[in-house]
Amino acid sequence: NFKMTFSSSSDSLLNFLNTFDTTHYLMGLNAAYVAGTFLLNTNTINKFAQFGSTKVSNFRIGFFDTWSFIGYLGAQQTDVSETLNRYISSWVESESTLSKKFKWTYGYSEFSIGPANKWQNFSWNNILLPSNKILYDVYGVKSDGNTDLILQNVSSNSNTDLSFINAFQYPVLNFKGKYSIDTLTGNKSPVLTSFKVNYTNPAEIAAELDDLWISDSAAVSGKDVKVRFKIYNEGDINLQGYISNVYMLKNSENLFLRSDTINNALPKNNSVIHESKFRIPVLRNTSEYITFFIEILPKGNYTEAFTYNNYVYFDLLTVRSSSIAGIEIFSDGKKIQNEDNVSLNPEIKVTLNTDPNLANSDAAISLKEILINGVNVSERTIADKNTKDFNSVVKNAERIIGFKNEMMFHPALNKGKNTLIIITGDQDGNSDTASVTLNVSDLYSIGELYNYPNPMKTETNFIFDLTGFENPGNGKIKIYTVSGKMIREIEIPLTFGFNTVSWDGKDNDGDLIANGTYLYKLFVTGSENLESEVKKLVILK
């Protein structure tokens, strides 16, 4: 749209007209009255004349004249439509119309067929005049969308062989028809009346998500997870089996975990319950969801009608295990568990009890790595008050790790919570990780004291928790009658954490104590002297 409201407006219009060539049509129209306009200059009028205009020179812009035009560069008057109505006593609409027939001597058609299980042949019917042609190029389309030219300029329209084309490599074929006219013999086009491709339908296997079952909602390093769902054969081929591939999405990439080939026949229009079992790899991060997926494929070289329904996706929350089967942890000679109290500089021993029958096999499990608060115990950067002793143990550890199933070391722990991580693995790269929290308390105190069983018959255990970080000291449990007479004193070698002491129900003279209610109390002599509350026990034989 141009408004001729400046003397330079004609130059702008002229610049626009100069962008046209002989392949363009120009359609012009005085669209609306605008006051204060300028007439077209001579150069612009002459340019319109090159398009075949003969009336634009009499057109008065800014009056109520109307003008319309259709033409092209170099057009003769027979190829131009132009109307001018000058305003005399009333406004009259101008209208231009032009009917043109465009002639092309060639043309194309293109369409894709597939996917197919096997290609057979293709043919077409046509109406041809002398010297007219219909030719076909055949392109193979790969599953990634890339194409290869397989056949070129096929002129025979009767059962052209396609059976040599591997449908697994080229599940889709693209047929490009090329139509041409010999203008020396006439202007009538060749006519394609029908086109036919013969092929067999592909396989179609689909995973059903409605009945998805997962054995666990957590992903624990080294643990097995089972996933169960239904698979349908919706295609026209009786499958002799299928393949199950398990992946984990990691950093936007697919990490392959496991592949299984199921050799059970799956006839068309039938279904089967499938179960995948895989092991969670080592996961360093916790408390985040990780996506896993299982891909189901037909066994053999089969294409499929659709592939979007071959996948089962599910998310698992990463959780670090606090235990590994066969792992035992000792602190200062006492077996401990997660969240137990230990001393500030304990003697830690990690033992892995494995099946001796697997000792020389790829499935043999061994200690791979042990970390204290994120630092490998084989690194000498761990601070320790007894550095010489610690380094001697570490040197031995460097030799032992990966070859034996026991390791002892003396770490310097921090007050509060400390993290002990144990990683085991086999020769195939399968691994398992356990994380155990070791508590070091700066408060020297006796935790809850009790005995079990209570009432007792002939034997009971005194159980209590001792917290602290230096010398745990020595302990005694004294047992009294309700009148206050001491009848038994039991000396105890103490350790920080849980302590258990057995009593056989005998007094200091070795005689069994009679039925009744008795009192007991724990005394600790260490960096401080501690006494527990008085507790009751009952003997009932």
Quick one: what percent of the chain has pLDDT higher than 90?
Answer: 45
Taking the alpha carbons of 211, 215, 219, 225 in that order, is the dihedral positive or negative?
Answer: negative
> Is 454 among the domain residues?
yes
Q: 175 and 115 in one domain? A: yes
Q: What domain range includes position 220?
A: 205-318
Whether the predicted pLDDT of 430 surpasses 70 = no
> Is 54 among the domain residues?
yes
Dihedral of CA atoms 507, 510, 513, 517 in degrees, nearest 10, equals: 20
Q: Residue 508 has what pLDDT? A: 94
Q: 190 and 120 in one domain? A: yes
> Is 535 among the domain residues?
yes
Give me the DSSP letters along 104-151. -SEEEEEEEE---SEEEEEEEEEE--TT-EEEEEEEEE-TTS-EEEEE
Q: 306 and 227 in one domain? A: yes
Q: 431 and 379 in one domain? A: yes
| Among 22, 56, 85, residue at a domain's last position | 85
The two tokens of residue 144 are 């990634």
> Is 308 among the domain residues?
yes
Quick one: what percent of the chain has pLDDT higher than 70?
Answer: 89
Name the DSSP class of 78: G
> Is 236 among the domain residues?
yes
Whether the predicted pLDDT of 202 surpasses 70 = yes
Taking the alpha carbons of 159, 165, 170, 176 in that order, is the dihedral positive or negative?
Answer: negative
The two tokens of residue 61 are 């812009």
Q: Residue 63 has what pLDDT? A: 84
Lowest pLDDT segment from 112-121, 161-170, 469-478, 499-508: 469-478
**400, 392 Cβ separation under 8 angstroms:** no
Whether the predicted pLDDT of 110 surpasses 90 = yes
Q: 223 and 168 in one domain? A: no
Looking up residue 459, the CATH number of its domain turns out to be 2.60.40.4070
Distance CA 447, CA 467 (A): 7
Pairing relationship of beta strands 311-318 and 218-219 according to DSSP bridges: parallel
Cα angle: 67, vertex 72, 74; to 5 degrees: 120
- Give the contacts of 503 (CB within 8 A, at least 6 positions apart): 451, 459, 460, 461, 462, 477, 479, 488, 490
Count of domains for the chain: 5
> Is 2 among the domain residues?
no
Summarize pLDDT for 216-249 with one digit per residue, the tens. Answer: 877 876 678 899 999 999 998 999 999 999 999 8
Please compute the mean of the pLDDT values over residues 373-384 and round it to a whole number.
59
pTM of the model: 0.44
Pairing relationship of beta strands 218-219 and 406-409 according to DSSP bridges: unpaired
Band (358; pLDDT cuts 50, 70, 90):
low
- Give the contacts of 180 (CB within 8 A, at least 6 positions apart): 105, 106, 107, 132, 133, 135, 190
Q: 405 and 331 in one domain? A: yes
Looking up residue 195, the CATH number of its domain turns out to be 2.60.120.1090
Please compute the mean of the pLDDT values over residues 161-188 and round it to a whole number.
90
| Among 200, 235, 253, residue at a domain's last position | 200
Secondary structure class of 152 (helix, strand, coil):
strand
Summarize pLDDT for 60-105 with one digit per residue, the tens. Answer: 887 888 999 999 999 999 899 999 998 888 888 999 999 887 777 8
Q: 42 and 81 in one domain? A: yes
| Among 183, 200, 217, residue at a domain's last position | 200
Q: What is the mean pLDDT of the chain?
A: 85
Give me the DSSP letters along 344-375. SS--EEEEE---GGGTTSTT--EEEEEEETTE
Lowest pLDDT segment from 318-327, 328-337, 441-450: 318-327
Band (354; pLDDT cuts 50, 70, 90):
low
Q: How far is CA 207 from the centre of its chain?
A: 18
Which of 181-190, 470-479, 485-494 holds the top average pLDDT? 485-494
Whether the predicted pLDDT of 324 surpasses 70 = no
Name the DSSP class of 11: H
Secondary structure class of 393 (helix, strand, coil):
helix
Q: 287 and 376 in one domain? A: no
Which of 62-66, 164-168, 306-310, 440-444 holds the top average pLDDT? 164-168
Closest CA to 242 of 209, 258, 226, 265: 265
Q: Which position has the token pair 């610049």?
A: 15
| Sheet arrangement for strand 81-85 | 26-29, 66-71, 81-85
Please compute the mean of the pLDDT values over residues 429-458 and round it to a whole number.
83
Residue 72 vs residues 11, 29, 50, 53, 84: alpha-carbon distances, Å: 20, 15, 8, 9, 18
The residue type found at 246 is V
Q: Residue 389 has what pLDDT? A: 38
Q: Residue 441 has what pLDDT? A: 84
Q: 212 and 189 in one domain? A: no
Please compute the mean of the pLDDT values over residues 1-25 and round it to a whole number.
89
> Is 389 among the domain residues?
yes
> Is 451 among the domain residues?
yes
Looking up residue 312, the CATH number of its domain turns out to be 2.60.40.10
Summarize pLDDT for 436-449 with one digit per residue, the tens. Answer: 888 888 788 888 88
Please compute the mean of the pLDDT values over residues 170-195 and round it to a whole number.
88
Distance CA 53, CA 49 (A): 5
Q: 309 and 227 in one domain? A: yes
**179, 108 Cβ separation under 8 angstroms:** yes
